[in-house]
Amino acid sequence: MMRSLFSGVSGLKNHQTRMDVIGNNIANVNTTGFKGSRVTFQDILSQNIAGAASAQGNKGGTNPKQIGLGMGMASVDTNFGDGSLQSTGKNTDLALSGNGFFILGDGANKIYTRSGAFEFDSDGNYTVPGSGLLVQGWMADASGKINAGGDVTGITIPKGQTMAAQATQSIGYTKNLSAEGKASQTTTTTDTVADTTPASGPTTTTNTLTDGTVIVTTITYDGTNKTTETKTTTPPTKVIAPVTVYDSEGVEHKITGVFTKTGENKWQYTPGSATPYQTDTGFAITGGVYDIEFNTDGTFKSVSGTPMTFQPTQANAMTVTPDFSKMTQYSGESTATVTSRDGYPAGDLESVSIDSSGVITGKFSNGLTKSLAQVAIATFNNPAGLTKLGSNTFAESNNSGVVQISTSGNGGAGTITPSNLEMSNVDLSEEFSSMIITQRGFQANSKIITVSDEMLETLANLKR
């Protein structure tokens, strides 16, 4: 039997396989996250007619005489190049650019995919529709901290999730207290009138605090005359508008701060614990008086004092510590204000969003946001060694290397683009060109069989 027949058969068989791969690529041209494949060929063992001989004396060397026995399939390689991104407007869709795969799991097994068409089910599971597989990542703790170094688990964001109230513990003051003005300015007025009381009375003194001004009134009775002496002290002050703080139950309270100049480069802070600065009812502030000192260049130097405490109604006692370290004392007007404050009321989860790092953030009805989970990314030393499972998924194999898990953009992993999907990376123009080449190769190999058959027929007819 002629060797060319077997060569032709191997050519037909392997070109047919190549056509199968091309057909599969074209069929999946619109499959989300699909990665096209290619077939590479190689020649197979050749038959040696004569071996090579080296040159000897005046006689030159000869090359080996070998006849090939056809061709074989070297490999079917998957092209893991990026596909184009398509915006979907759906905030649970994710596209991955660069290396890596999303991780899917059912609690026992994990598989991998490039298709990020995910959504939340009725129980809040972040899953692949129709498969029940959960997207894997890390869940945040109660404070919103994510440990991306721990084991991955299925991501679940229960609907109706709440954010517990947190009591205020600190208030941050910033900006300027004016370097102008003296620590105190005193004006004394005295008025003597006839004593109309039937008998001389004791000396009385009253203090009135109004808008940063201290009015001290002393009345003296001597049985004949009544003398009223009023001293008005108006040191430079800065009254801070009431700031909202929250107790452990999330109930709002108001605290007003008053800054009063007490000396050169020195100010005193007093919380709103008395009329007219007390703007809330149900609790009395104790402590909270601070002496603040600035350097001669106007920068903050030091502070001493005790935190303010109070006992709200039906809530735990609160301790609030003000922070003055970012304040200054320069010329000009006093602009001191509150720019930070912790604590918040309770809130219900209203919506979620996902950023480019894969962090799922929840927006709550109290106006705050909190990290809830983070999507994990898997990478392999040899992604082409992964085993295809269908449904856009892959499994680890002996030649893929051990899975390495990291976050988006770290550890060699690609980056996530939210509200997008990665399209198939199949290039139709290339596939059509390969299809023509494959067709011609198949036709040529069929011609080998036809001609070889005709030659065999000629040989058989020699006996006639």
Number of residues in the chain: 464
Written as one string, the DSSP assignment of 231-293 is: EEE---EEEPPPEEEE-TT--EEEE-EEEEEEETTEEEEEES-STTT----S---EE--EEEE
How many secondary structure helices (H) and strands (E) does the chain include?
2, 38
Number of domains in the chain: 4
Question: CA-CA distance, 285 to 309, in Å (whole number)?
Answer: 6
Residue 280 clears pLDDT 60, i.e. is over it: no
> Is pLDDT larger for residue 61 or for residue 227?
61
Residue 235 clears pLDDT 90, i.e. is over it: no
Q: Are residues 365 and 256 in the same domain?
A: no
The whole-number pLDDT of residue 281 equals: 56
* 77 found inside a domain: no
pTM reported for the whole predicted model: 0.74
Closest by CA to 280, choosing from 252, 301, 308, is: 252
Q: Are residues 295 and 174 in the same domain?
A: yes
Q: Pairing between strand 237-239 and 393-395?
A: unpaired
Q: Which residues contact 191 (CB under 8 A, 6 or more apart)?
A: 227, 228, 229, 230
Closest by CA to 215, choosing from 241, 200, 237, 234, is: 234
> Is pLDDT larger for residue 252 or for residue 171?
171
Residue 160 clears pLDDT 90, i.e. is over it: no
Mean of pLDDT over the chain: 88
Residue 188 clears pLDDT 90, i.e. is over it: no
Residue range 348-373, pLDDT digits in tens: 999 999 999 999 999 999 999 999 99
Q: Are residues 135 and 281 in the same domain?
A: no
Question: CA-CA distance, 116 to 375, in Å (whole number)?
Answer: 11
- Give the CA radius of gyration of the chain: 42
Q: Report CA-CA distances (Å) from 127 to 34, 68, 131, 136.
A: 19, 53, 8, 9
The whole-number pLDDT of residue 421 equals: 97
> Is pLDDT larger for residue 125 or for residue 273?
125
Question: CA-CA distance, 178 to 63, in Å (whole number)?
Answer: 99
* 11 found inside a domain: yes
The whole-number pLDDT of residue 202 equals: 67
* 61 found inside a domain: no
* 193 found inside a domain: yes
Q: Which domain CATH number covers 335?
A: 2.60.98.20
Query: Which residues in 421-452 are b (16+ Cβ under 10 Å) and which e?
Result: bbbbbbeeeebeebbeebeebbeebeebbeeb
The whole-number pLDDT of residue 137 equals: 97
Residue 282 clears pLDDT 80, i.e. is over it: no
Question: CA-CA distance, 112 to 387, in Å (whole number)?
Answer: 10
Q: Are residues 139 and 267 in the same domain?
A: no
Q: Are residues 176 and 280 in the same domain?
A: yes
The pLDDT-based confidence of 452 (bands split at 50, 70, 90) is: confident
Q: Are residues 20 and 142 in the same domain?
A: no
Is 373 strand, coil or helix? strand
Question: CA-CA distance, 133 to 127, in Å (whole number)?
Answer: 6
Residue range 71-130, pLDDT digits in tens: 999 999 999 999 999 999 999 999 999 999 999 998 889 999 999 999 999 999 999 998
Q: Which domain holds residue 220?
A: 186-233
Q: Are residues 177 and 304 in the same domain?
A: yes
For 126, the token pair is 């972040």
Q: Are residues 312 and 456 in the same domain?
A: no
* 89 found inside a domain: yes
Q: Are 379 and 411 in contact (CB under 8 A)?
A: yes
For 373, the token pair is 């989970």
Q: Are residues 176 and 263 in the same domain?
A: yes
- Average pLDDT rounded to a whole number, residues 170-182: 90
Angle in degrees, 0-180, between the axes of helices 3-27 and 428-460, rounded to the nearest 10: 160
Question: CA-CA distance, 260 to 256, in Å (whole number)?
Answer: 13
Q: Are residues 249 and 304 in the same domain?
A: yes
Helix (H), strand (E) at residue 220: strand 213-221
Report the range out of 214-223, 245-254, 420-429 with the highest average pLDDT: 420-429
Question: CA-CA distance, 144 to 33, in Å (whole number)?
Answer: 31
* 136 found inside a domain: yes
pLDDT over 90 for what percent of the chain?
60
Residue 242 clears pLDDT 50, i.e. is over it: yes
The whole-number pLDDT of residue 274 equals: 38
Q: Pairing between strand 110-113 and 119-120?
A: unpaired
* 154 found inside a domain: no
Question: CA-CA distance, 155 to 260, in Å (whole number)?
Answer: 53
Question: CA-CA distance, 145 to 163, in Å (whole number)?
Answer: 14
The whole-number pLDDT of residue 255 equals: 84
Q: Are residues 176 and 302 in the same domain?
A: yes
Question: CA-CA distance, 333 to 360, in Å (whole number)?
Answer: 44
Domain boundary among 316, 345, 374: 345
- Average pLDDT rounded to a whole number, residues 375-395: 94
* 415 found inside a domain: yes
Residue range 36-83, pLDDT digits in tens: 999 999 998 777 888 888 888 888 888 888 888 889 999 999 999 999
Partners of residue 228 on adjacent β-strands: 191, 219
Q: Are residues 256 and 335 in the same domain?
A: yes
